[in-house]
Amino acid sequence: RKEVEQDPGPFNVPEGATVAFNCTYSNSASQSFFWYRQDCRKEPKLLMSVYSSGNEDGRFTAQLNRASQYISLLIRDSKLSDSATYLCVVIHSGGYNKLIFGAGTRLAVHP
Amino acid sequence: GAVVSQHPSWVICKSGTSVKIECRSLDFQATTMFWYRQFPKQSLMLMATSNEGSKATYEQGVEKDKFLINHASLTLSTLTVTSAHPEDSSFYICSTRDSGGATDTQYFGPGTRLTVL
């Protein structure tokens, strides 16, 4: 079983739509959680951290459910520029705080 | 924000040759750098953790004699793919952590796309 699992998609949505991505992680010792965005043939870029209380950054809302080991990302009012692959990332405790990446969920926003 | 550069951005080589990829931290001193590999439609997989002045720590299944890592200074780490073969073709990305900053954030280089013929 992969440590971080995501639905690969693609999610094809029209501009203005609301879309939600889910992610599950297997290691209950995971302590930090993030969503990264990766454009085609580019490096990943941090989108936002995810906190147990839930957090929002503009059109993006992230939620963490530690009991279910589940992370979500909600994008409201999708823009064409939101088209990318969204990577769910967790960090375990100990060692060098390695980032463990999910394979990503692809989003395509169309006019 | 911090800037991490990689060189080259892409390389095409013949099977059996060795390829060196450089990762530079431009804004801060990076005692720790990470090397990842990403195959198409797959997640980034950590290959090794590189520490300035000491031996790198390799992940399970990554051959240390094939992927040589040198972290000789606080701003430069290199990954050498020795005797590259077509199955080594991948997107190699380094990242550094600014532990001296306000947040313990990792910054990624732009990646190096390796194609082995």
Q: Given the DSSP bridges, would you call strands A70-75 and A105-110 parallel, antiparallel or unpaired?
A: unpaired
DSSP character for A77? S
The neighbour count for residue B22, using CB atoms within 10 Å, is 17
pLDDT at B32: 87
pLDDT at position B103 is 56
Res B53: pLDDT:
82
Q: Choose, out of B7, B77, B106, the residue to mutate when testing the contact with A (most A CBs < 10 Å).
A: B106
pLDDT of residue A13: 97
Q: What is the pLDDT along chain B (117 residues), one digit of tens a residue?
A: 558 999 999 999 999 999 999 999 988 788 889 999 999 888 899 999 988 888 899 999 999 999 999 988 888 999 999 999 999 999 999 998 766 655 567 889 999 999 999
Q: Which of A43, A92, A106 should be substituted to probe chain B, the one whose Cβ sees the most B Cβ atoms within 10 Å?
A: A43
pLDDT attached to residue A29: 84
Q: Give B3 or A23, the one with higher predicted confidence.
A: A23
For residue B70 the two structure tokens come to: 């040198």
For residue B36, what pLDDT is reported?
Answer: 95
Phi then psi dihedrals of residue A28, to 5 deg: -65, -15
Pairs across A and B, CB distance < 8 A: 45
Nearest CA among A8, A20, A34 for reference residue A89: A34
pLDDT digits (tens, 9 = 90+) for A72-110: 999 999 999 999 999 999 987 666 678 889 999 999 999
Q: Is the pLDDT of residue A6 over 60?
A: yes
A47 versus A30: the higher-pLDDT residue is A47
* Chain B residues in contact with chain A using a Cβ-Cβ cutoff of 8 Å: 32, 34, 36, 41-46, 49, 57, 91, 93, 95, 97, 104-106, 108-111, 113
Contact state of A44 with B49 under an 8 Å Cβ cutoff: no
Q: Does A87 touch chain B (CB under 8 A)?
A: yes
CA A60/CA B5 separation, integer angstroms? 28
d(CA B44, CA B106) in angstroms, rounded, equals: 14
Residue B54: φ, ψ to 5°: -140, 175
pLDDT confidence tier of residue A63, bands split at 50, 70 and 90: very high
Give me the pLDDT at residue B6, please: 96
